[in-house]
């Protein structure tokens, strides 16, 4: 690893793919490409390493961390050819932890099922983590961008594996080549590029159909006096089966090129063939580039990627024979429109043989300090409203499909994994990008998840119900339509600085556009009489003495975490009521019980027992029925709270608010506060607090639109459906 030039590491995974790529893009004058040697003889032990990384991702991560830390100062980056399987994804996550740039040069761009291209069938990872992708063309780009990969980080350079086919010069003469396989150079020859077919189709059905296709090809070749060479897949899977293998070995018209030790590289095999057949291998297209007739043996149903190229297609023996007979009589002429389509989808517009040159040029530039900027971490992607691939949350299926039904689109994530078993299910968590925790109340499943998260070195985002949650109350089971995010604690936790508090204390001033939008949204909420829950009737309230001014005291659910975390307790509620009775003898005092206590079957701090004495106080009135909060604001001058979020709604409605605890909106000189926190020393406007709480850190969903939405659309939904 001693070099005066920039060093890029690569993982020597499948020699026929990775090593060939590295050989092609090596540039000894400008940079050094070196293998990441964390396992002895990796290519030989590839399957064991693959299994170990999947089953022991925490230990595997430690191995990678330990190997990369001493190398880190010397590295310009690490080159991946894929990062969807845990064996590579763990390395990619460690690179993000250690600030090592990641470059993805995908070795494969062919699929039989678009949804399963670049996809791990066990962990469900499908979005690249790399900081930049040097990809083939528009097809890869469209797939990755659709899954949330930033379009600006994808560069179409073409496929390096296609470069050699532009002006290929063979290493062997035709007689020499065919002598290696015991076949005749005088006869037409079909090369069949077999595939493992292990991740995108039903493997058993697909492999059986591939064996049938090979068998029919052999029958046709024997009938027409063609020859057949079956090239086995680089993965070294046994795809033939004993019966077909024996038939091929015994035939004087056939030969097998075994991946255990290929006789020739793929380009040499294609050059000396006349027809290149496959289910869906890129070798079929590589033959197309060399002017060979491609033959798609589509013996299993799938959406064929090559359809616009108009390749000859066969689904049975009769069709195979017909295509071979036509080729024998007429030859093959490539479809020009198909070539143009392929040039845009699989290259940067042309097959000019310069893909490796473009990659070298990029690596030379990327080796300069500051050129290759890292992607945001998964946590920061969520805050930046960018897509993340896989989240994990310790929620039951009932909760996930119930109150958390819209959580995935609100977080802008592709896939969710259940994590309530923690390290006991770490196999399923290997490729998780971000762990999610609901609230800060301690629970066993949260502790288990935290143990797994720490073992994997991943980040955590903390969620709570948003400020405009739903039409019905949460305890009714209605799915939440909003969430608020934090990376430190819950937004209401005054015992430590939340992200919301940090933004209000140290964050920027609002722009003019943000200010105008916040003012408009506050007006829309107040005019629409929208609240956190929106099930309650909205009617003029007639209570108390019409001649008296009124104040409002707000109840909260007993045991609510926001009370404890807001530096309050049951005594705080008693103090608030006592102060109201003492200081407002000439006012009507309205006490609004919490909705969860009224209809949700939960206890509250102002329950009937604690308020039994008020029957002897003639200016205290209990509101023990559901009513729209704005109907209450209409009749009161002031609102007194402990930590209730409804106090902020009162501020928006223009009311004076007294805080006995420390809710998120206290401490910014907007409220009359009984407590002070030295951390909160900055004066903030109502629009500031609203913007950061309701807009910047909150996410919304509109079921009518079937997607995540902005706050304006969420308000419209509530107004329409309540």
Assess contact for 437 and 446: CB atoms under 8 A. Answer: yes
User: Is the predicted pLDDT of residue 609 greater than 70, yes or no?
Assistant: yes
Domain 509-721 has CATH 2.60.40: no
d(CA 301, CA 230): 22
- Reported as a pLDDT band with limits 50, 70 and 90, residue 238 is confident
pLDDT of residue 601: 61
Assess contact for 99 and 69: CB atoms under 8 A. Answer: no
Least confident of 80-84, 236-240, 698-702, 718-722: 236-240
Portions of the chain given CATH number 3.40.50.2000: 7-162+355-366, 174-338
Average of per-residue pLDDT values in the chain: 93
Q: What is the dihedral of CA 127, 131, 135, 139, to 10 degrees?
A: 40
Report DSSP state, residue 28. Answer: T
Domain 7-162+355-366: which CATH class? alpha beta
- Reported as a pLDDT band with limits 50, 70 and 90, residue 204 is confident
Q: What CATH superfamily is the domain 174-338?
A: Glycogen Phosphorylase B; (3.40.50.2000)
Over residues 455-498, the pLDDT tens digits come to: 999 999 999 999 999 998 777 789 999 999 999 999 999 999 99
Listed in sequence order, the DSSP H helices in 225-273 are 242-250, 266-271
d(CA 417, CA 434): 10
pLDDT of residue 37: 87
Report DSSP state, residue 191. Answer: E
* Fold for the domain defined by 378-505: Rossmann fold (3.40.50)
- Reported as a pLDDT band with limits 50, 70 and 90, residue 333 is confident
Assess contact for 105 and 10: CB atoms under 8 A. Answer: no
Q: Please give the average per-residue pLDDT across 236-243, as a whole number.
A: 89
φ, ψ at 452 (rounded to 5°): -65, -40
The pTM for the full model equals 0.87
């Amino acid at each position: 690893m001693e070099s005066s030039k920039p060093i890029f590491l690569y993982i020597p995974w499948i020699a026929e793919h990775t090593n060939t790529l590295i050989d092609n893009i090596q540039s000894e004058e400008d940079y050094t490409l070196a293998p990441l040697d964390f396992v002895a003889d990796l290519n030989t032990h590839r399957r064991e390493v693959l299994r170990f990384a999947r089953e022991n991702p925490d230990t595997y991560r430690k191995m990678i961390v330990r190997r990369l830390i001493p190398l880190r100062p010397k590295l310009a980056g690490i080159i991946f050819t894929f990062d969807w399987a845990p064996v590579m994804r763990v390395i990619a996550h460690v690179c993000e932890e250690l600030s090592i740039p990641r470059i993805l040069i995908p070795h494969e761009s062919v699929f039989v099922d678009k949804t399963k291209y670049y996809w791990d069938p066990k962990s469900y990872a499908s979005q690249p983590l790399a900081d930049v992708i040097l990809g083939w063309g528009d097809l890869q780009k469209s797939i990755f961008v659709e899954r949330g990969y930033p379009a600006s980080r994808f560069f179409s350079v073409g496929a390096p594996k296609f470069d050699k086919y532009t002006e290929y010069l063979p290493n062997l003469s035709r007689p020499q080549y065919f002598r290696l396989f015991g076949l005749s150079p005088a006869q037409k020859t079909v090369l069949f590029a077999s595939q493992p077919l292990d991740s995108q189709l039903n493997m058993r059905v697909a492999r059986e159909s591939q064996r049938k296709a090979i068998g029919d090809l052999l029958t046709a070749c024997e009938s027409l006096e063609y020859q057949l060479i079956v090239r086995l897949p680089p993965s070294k899977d046994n795809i033939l089966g004993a019966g077909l293998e024996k038939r091929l070995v015994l035939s004087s018209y056939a030969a097998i090129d075994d991946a255990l030790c290929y006789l020739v590289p793929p380009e040499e095999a294609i050059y000396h063939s006349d027809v290149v057949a496959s289910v869906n291998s890129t070798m079929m297209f590589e033959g197309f580039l060399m002017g060979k007739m491609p033959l798609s043996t589509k013996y299993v149903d799938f959406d064929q990627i090559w359809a616009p190229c108009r390749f000859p297609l066969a689904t049975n023996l009769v069709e195979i024979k017909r295509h071979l007979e036509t080729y024998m009589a007429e030859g093959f002429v490539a479809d020009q429109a198909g070539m143009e389509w392929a040039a845009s989808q699989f290259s940067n517009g042309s097959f000019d043989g310069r893909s490796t040159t473009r990659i070298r040029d990029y690596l030379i530039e990327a080796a300069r300090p500051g050129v290759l900027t890292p992607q945001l971490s998964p946590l920061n992607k969520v805050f930046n409203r960018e897509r993340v691939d896989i989240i994990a949350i310790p929620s039951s299926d009932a909760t996930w499909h119930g109150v958390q039904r819209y959580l995935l689109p609100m977080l802008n994530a592709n896939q969710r994994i259940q994590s309530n078993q923690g390290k006991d299910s770490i196999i399923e968590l290997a490729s998780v990008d971000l762990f999610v925790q609901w609230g800060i109340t301690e629970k066993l499943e949260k502790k288990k998840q935290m143990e797994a998260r720490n073992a994997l070195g991943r980040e955590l985002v903390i969620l709570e119900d948003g400020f405009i949650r739903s039409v019905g109350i949460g305890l009714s089971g209605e799915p939440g339509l909003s969430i608020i995010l934090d990376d430190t604690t819950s937004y209401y936790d005054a015992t430590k600085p939340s992200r919301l508090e940090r933004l209000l204390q140290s964050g920027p001033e609002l722009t003019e556009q943000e200010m105008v939008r916040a003012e408009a949204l506050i007006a829309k909420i107040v005019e629409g009489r929208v609240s956190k829950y929106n099930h309650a009737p909205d009617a003029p309230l007639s209570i108390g003495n019409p001649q008296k001014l009124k104040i409002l005291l707000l109840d909260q659910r007993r045991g609510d975490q926001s009370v404890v975390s807001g530096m309050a307790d049951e005594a705080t509620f008693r103090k608030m009521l006592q102060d109201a009775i003492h200081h407002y003898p000439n006012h009507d005092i309205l006490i609004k019980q919490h909705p969860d206590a009224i209809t949700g079957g939960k206890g509250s701090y102002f329950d009937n027992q604690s308020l039994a004495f008020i029957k002897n106080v003639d200016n205290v009135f209990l509101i023990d029925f559901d009513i729209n909060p704005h109907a209450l604001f209409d009749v009161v001058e002031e609102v007194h709270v402990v930590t209730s979020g409804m106090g902020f709604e009162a501020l928006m409605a223009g009311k004076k608010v007294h805080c006995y605890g420390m809710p998120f909106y206290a401490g910014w000189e907007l409220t009359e506060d009984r407590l002070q926190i030295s951390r909160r020393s900055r004066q903030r406007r109502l629009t500031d607090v609203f913007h950061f709480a309701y807009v910047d850190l909150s996410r919304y969903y509109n079921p009518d639109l079937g997607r995540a939405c902005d706050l304006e659309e969420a308000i419209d939904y509530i107004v329409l459906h309540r």
